[in-house]
C-alpha cells in the first residue's frame, strides 16, 4: 500500500504524479474491502466513489474549499485522503472512526449529515455567507447522489440555488442509479436518458438557471478533474453529472442486486461470504408478518422511502408489486401520500427508520392525525441502533409522538408480540398507530403470566416491593434485573404495558398500589414514557414514587446496542443497582434523564 501510506493530507495527493492515479485507486479499493470486512460498514457506495473523490481533492483545496458529502456514508475515501487511514480499524465503534463525516475528527469534515438531501441547502447557505463576507476565493462543493435528489429538501435547495446565477456553487451528482435499490421517479428517468446520451443537455437543470456538465465517466480521474475545473471557471451554479458504479472493483459488491453490500456486516474479503446471522432480526420477522397480512387483507398497502429491503417490505413487494410504493428519499411525501391512501379507503403501512420519521413530523400531525386517519407507522431502528451513531439512533420517537393527539404507540417486547400488535394496529379504524422495534437480532420470547386490562404481567411475586414497567424489548433486561433483586431481598413485579402512548389507564392504577414504580425505556427521558407515567400517577394523588430509567437527552455516539444500553444503566445489572438504591432510600430524586 505504498502510495496510500504516503498520503496523509490532500496536499500529498496533489503532489502525486497523475500517471499513478490508477494505481492509487486500486490501493484504495483494496484497503476499503479489507478494512470493512473486519468491522462492517458502507462498502458499496464508497467503492463507487474512489476516482471521483481523488479528482475532488486534486481540484479543490479542502478545508479552505468546502466539500459537503450527501449522504455522509459515501465519505470513506475522503477520510482516507485526509489522513485517517490508521483509524479504520475502529470504524463505527465506540471511540473509533465515525462511519459519517465528523467535525470532531477533522477540519475536512464540515457537516455531519447522514440524512439525505441536505447538502445542497448547506451549500446554498455557505455560498451566500462567503459572498457576503467577501471570501470569493473559497469554493463550495456539494456531492449528492441521484437517490438524494428524490428528496423534497434537495428540490427546494435547487429552486433557490438557480435563482442566483451569479453565485458560484459546484454540485457533483454521483449517479449510480441507486440508493438502496434502483432510484425511482421522473428525475431518475431523466438522468438515465442523459447517461445514455452524454451529449444531451439537461433541460431540467438549465431551466432552473443551473449549468449542466455531463455525463462524465466518474471512474476516469482525468475526465472528472477536467469537468470540475471547467465548472469552477464558469463561476455560477453548475451540476457536474458523473456516472459511477456502486461496488466498483469488488465483484461481490459490483453484482449486488439487492444492495446487501450497501451497508454490510463483517465478511470474508477473499470470498465475499457475509457472516450468517445467528437468529432472525426484528426486520425479518416484520417482513414475514407483512407478507402474511397482505395475502389476508387486500386493502393493506406498503410505503417506503427508498428502503424496501432495509425496512422489510421486500417480500410484500415481490408478491404484490402494485401494492408497495417506493417514493424515494422523501419522508414527508411518504406520510402525506399515505394520508391520501387512507382517505381513499386503503390501509397504508409506512415502514421507516425511527430517526427518519422525524423529518415528517408535520405530516404525521397535520395530515394524518388531524384527519383521524388509520395509517400504521412501523418504526425500524427504534431506540439505540449501534454503529451508525447519533444520526441513526431512534431515541426521540416516544417523546415527540406522544404529542400527537389520537396517536397510539405499541412497543413489542418480542417477535410474537410484534405480530399481535401489528394486527391490532391494522384493526384500529380511528387515528394513526405506531409500532416501534429495534435494530438487530430478536431475542427469546418472554411469556406473560397473566393479562390485566391489556397489560401483560411477566413476573408476579407474592409480596412485591417494586413495580418494573418495561417498554418493548427491555422487558428481558427487567426480568433479569428482577432475579438479581430477588437475591438482594427485593421482590419486583414486572409488567409490559404493550402500548407506550398514551400511558395505559390500567398501568396508572396499578402503579398507584406500589410504593415505588420504575420505568425502563430506550428513549430519552424527557417527554418519554416514564415521565408521562409519573405525571399521570401524580394527578391521581397516589403516594407512589415514579422513577424512570432512560437515555440522556444527548446525541449518543456509535457502539454496539448492548454496550450502549449497559453504559447508560439499561442492562440488567444497571437496572437492579438503581432499583436497589431507590428502594433503600427514604426519599427520591428519581425523575428522568
- Residues 366 and 500 both lie in one domain: no
Q: Is 179 annotated as a binding residue?
A: no
DSSP 317-386: HHH-GGGEEE--S-HHHHHHHHHHHHHTT-EEEEEEEHHHHGGGHHIIIIIIITTT---EEEEETBB---
215 and 74, same domain (yes or no) = yes
| Residues 354 and 223 reside in one and the same domain | no
Structural domain contains residue 460: yes
Give the span between the Cα atoms of 356 and 180, in whole angstroms.
15
| Residue 147 in marked binding region | yes
Q: Band of the pLDDT at 542, cuts 50, 70, 90?
A: very high
590 lies in some domain: no
In the sheet where 376-380 sits, what is the strand order?
Answer: 324-326, 300-304, 347-353, 376-380, 433-436, 408-410, 499-501
Please tell me whether residues 417 and 505 are part of one structural domain: no
Which set of grid coordinates corresponds to residue 109?
Answer: 469534515
Confidence of residue 199 (pLDDT cuts 50, 70, 90): low
Are 428 and 454 within one domain?
no
Of residues 246, 381, 532, 578, which has the active-site annotation? 246
% the chain with pLDDT above 90 = 84
Instruction: Answer whether residue 592 is part of any domain.
Output: no
Indicate whether 445 belongs to any domain. Answer: no
Domain boundaries, position 324: 282-436
Q: What's the per-residue H, E or C state across 257-310? A: CCCCCCCECCECCCCCCECCCCCCEHHHHHHHHHHHHHHHCCCEEEEECCCCCC
Calculate the CA 76 to chain-centre distance. Answer: 18
Distance of alpha carbon 578 from alpha carbon 140, whole angstroms: 50
Whether 486 and 416 share a structural domain: no
For residue 270, being part of any structural domain is answered with no
pLDDT of residue 203: 82
Place 586 in a pLDDT band, splitting at 50, 70 and 90: low
Residue 360 covered by a domain: yes
Residue of 444 and 355 predicted with greater confidence = 355
- Give the CATH number, domain containing residue 230: 3.40.50.970
- 116 annotated to bind ligand: yes
For 67-96, give one letter per residue: b (16+ CB within 10 A) or e: bbbbbbbbbbbbbbbbbbbeebeebbbbeb
Confidence at residue 278, expressed as pLDDT on a 0 to 100 scale: 78
- Say yes or no: 383 and 478 in one domain: no
250 is in an annotated binding site: yes
Asked if residue 125 belongs to a known ligand binding site, the reply is no
27 is catalytic: no
DSSP annotation of 18 reads G
Q: How far apart are CA 105 and CA 109, in angstroms?
A: 7
The tally of domains found in the chain comes to 3
Q: Of these residues, 359, 459, 498, 561, which one is catalytic? A: 359
115 is an annotated ligand-binding site residue:
yes
Same domain for 461 and 431, yes or no, is no
Instruction: For residues 26-44, give the mean pLDDT.
Output: 95
Q: Which of 371, 406, 436 is the last residue of a domain?
A: 436
Same structural domain, 496 and 415? no
**How far is Cα 31 from Cα 221, in angstroms, rounded to an integer?**
19
Secondary structure letter of residue 472 according to DSSP = G
| Bond prior to 55 in cis (omega within 30° of 0) | no
Q: State yes or no: pLDDT of 589 exceeds 50.
A: no
491 is in an annotated binding site: no
- Whether 577 is a known active-site residue: answer no
Q: What is the structure's pLDDT at 181?
A: 66
* Residue 268 falls inside a structural domain: no
Residues 237, 165: Cα–Cα separation, whole Å = 6
Consult the annotation and say whether 114 binds a ligand. yes
CA distance 61 to 109: 13
Do 127 and 245 fall within a single domain?
A: yes
Local confidence band at 392 (pLDDT 50, 70, 90 cut-offs): very high
Q: What is the pLDDT of residues 82-140, one digit of tens each?
A: 999 999 999 999 889 999 999 999 999 999 877 789 999 999 999 999 999 999 999 99
Q: Which one from 27, 225, 331, 531 is the annotated catalytic residue? A: 331
Are residues 173 and 316 both part of a single domain?
A: no
E strand or H helix that includes residue 436 = strand 433-436
Supply φ then ψ for residue 416, to 5 degrees.
-65, -40
175 labelled binding-site residue: no
Q: What is the pLDDT of residue 276?
A: 82
Structure confidence by residue, pLDDT tens digits, 552-579: 999 999 989 999 999 999 999 999 999 9
Q: Quick check: is 221 in a domain?
A: yes
What CATH number is associated with residue 462? Answer: 3.40.50.920
Q: How far is CA 37 from CA 41, 91, 98, 249, 263, in A?
A: 8, 11, 16, 15, 11
Q: Do 290 and 250 share a structural domain?
A: no
Task: Tell me the whole-structure pTM to 2 decimals.
Answer: 0.94
Clarify whether 359 is annotated catalytic: yes
What's the mean per-residue pLDDT of the chain? 93
pLDDT exceeds cutoff 50 at 588: no
Amino acid at each position: 500500500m505504498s502510495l496510500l501510506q504516503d498520503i496523509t493530507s490532500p496536499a500529498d495527493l496533489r503532489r502525486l504524479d497523475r500517471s499513478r492515479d490508477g494505481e492509487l485507486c486500486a490501493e484504495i479499493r483494496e484497503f476499503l474491502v479489507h478494512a470493512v470486512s473486519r468491522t462492517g460498514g458502507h462498502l458499496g457506495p464508497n467503492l463507487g466513489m474512489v476516482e471521483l473523490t481523488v479528482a475532488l481533492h486534486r481540484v479543490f483545496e479542502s478545508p479552505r474549499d468546502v466539500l459537503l458529502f450527501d449522504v455522509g456514508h459515501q465519505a470513506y475515501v475522503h477520510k482516507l485522503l485526509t489522513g485517517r487511514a490508521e483509524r479504520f480499524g475502529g470504524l463505527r465503534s465506540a471511540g473509533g472512526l465515525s462511519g459519517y463525516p465528523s467535525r470532531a475528527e477533522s477540519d475536512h469534515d464540515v457537516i455531519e449529515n447522514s440524512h439525505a438531501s441536505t447538502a445542497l441547502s448547506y451549500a446554498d447557505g455557505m455560498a451566500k455567507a462567503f459572498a457576503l463576507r467577501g471570501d470569493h476565493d473559497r469554493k463550495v462543493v456539494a456531492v449528492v447522489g441521484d437517490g438524494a435528489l428524490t428528496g423534497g429538501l434537495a428540490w427546494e435547495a435547487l429552486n433557490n440555488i438557480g435563482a442566483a446565477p451569479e453565485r458560484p456553487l459546484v454540485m457533483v451528482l454521483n449517479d449510480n442509479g441507486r440508493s438502496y435499490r434502483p432510484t425511482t421517479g421522473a428525475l431518475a428517468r431523466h438522468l438515465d436518458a442523459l447517461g445514455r446520451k452524454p451529449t444531451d443537455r439537461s433541460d431540467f437543470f438549465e431551466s432552473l438557471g443551473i449549468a449542466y456538465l455531463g455525463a462524465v465517466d466518474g471512474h476516469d480521474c482525468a475526465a472528472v478533474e477536467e469537468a470540475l475545473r471547467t465548472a469552477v471557471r464558469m463561476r455560477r451554479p453548475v451540476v457536474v453529472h458523473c456516472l459511477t458504479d456502486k461496488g466498483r472493483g469488488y465483484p461481490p459488491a459490483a453484482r449486488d442486486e439487492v444492495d446487501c453490500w450497501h451497508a454490510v456486516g463483517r465478511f470474508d474479503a477473499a470470498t465475499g461470504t457475509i457472516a450468517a446471522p445467528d437468529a432472525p432480526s426484528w426486520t425479518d420477522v416484520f417482513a414475514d408478518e407483512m407478507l402474511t397480512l397482505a395475502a389476508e387483507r387486500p386493502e393493506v398497502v406498503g410505503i417506503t422511502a427508498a428502503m424496501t429491503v432495509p425496512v422489510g417490505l421486500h417480500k410484500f413487494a415481490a408478491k404484490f408489486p402494485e401494492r408497495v410504493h417506493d417514493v424515494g428519499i422523501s419522508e414527508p411525501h411518504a406520510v402525506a401520500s399515505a394520508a391520501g391512501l387512507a382517505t381513499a379507503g386503503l390501509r397504508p403501512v409506512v415502514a421507516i427508520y425511527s430517526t427518519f420519521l422525524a423529518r415528517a413530523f408535520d405530516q404525521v400531525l397535520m395530515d394524518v392525525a388531524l384527519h383521524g386517519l388509520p395509517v400504521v407507522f412501523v418504526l425500524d431502528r427504534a431506540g439505540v441502533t449501534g454503529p451508525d451513531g447519533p444520526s441513526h439512533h431512534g431515541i426521540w420517537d416516544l417523546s415527540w409522538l406522544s404529542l400527537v393527539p389520537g396517536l397510539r404507540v405499541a412497543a413489542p417486547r418480542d417477535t410474537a408480540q410484534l405480530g399481535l400488535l401489528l394486527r391490532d394496529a391494522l384493526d384500529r379504524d380511528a387515528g394513526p398507530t405506531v409500532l416501534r422495534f429495534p435494530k438487530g437480532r430478536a431475542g427469546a420470547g418472554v411469556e406473560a403470566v397473566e393479562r390485566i386490562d391489556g397489560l401483560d404481567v411477566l413476573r408476579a411475586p407474592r409480596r412485591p416491593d417494586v413495580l418494573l414497567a418495561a417498554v418493548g424489548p427491555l422487558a428481558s433486561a427487567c426480568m433479569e434485573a428482577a432475579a438479581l433483586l430477588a437475591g438482594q431481598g427485593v421482590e419486583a413485579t414486572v409488567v409490559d404495558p404493550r402500548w407506550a402512548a398514551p400511558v395505559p389507564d390500567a398501568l396508572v392504577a396499578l402503579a398507584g398500589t406500589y410504593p415505588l414504580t420504575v420505568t425502563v425505556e430506550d428513549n430519552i427521558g424527557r417527554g418519554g414514557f416514564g415521565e408521562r407515567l409519573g405525571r399521570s400517577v401524580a394527578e391521581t394523588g397516589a403516594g407512589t414514587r415514579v422513577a424512570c430509567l432512560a437515555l440522556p437527552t444527548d446525541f449518543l455516539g456509535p457502539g454496539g446496542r448492548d454496550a450502549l444500553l449497559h453504559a447508560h444503566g439499561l442492562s440488567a445489572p444497571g437496572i437492579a443497582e438503581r432499583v436497589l438504591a431507590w428502594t433503600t432510600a427514604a426519599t427520591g430524586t428519581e425523575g428522568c434523564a
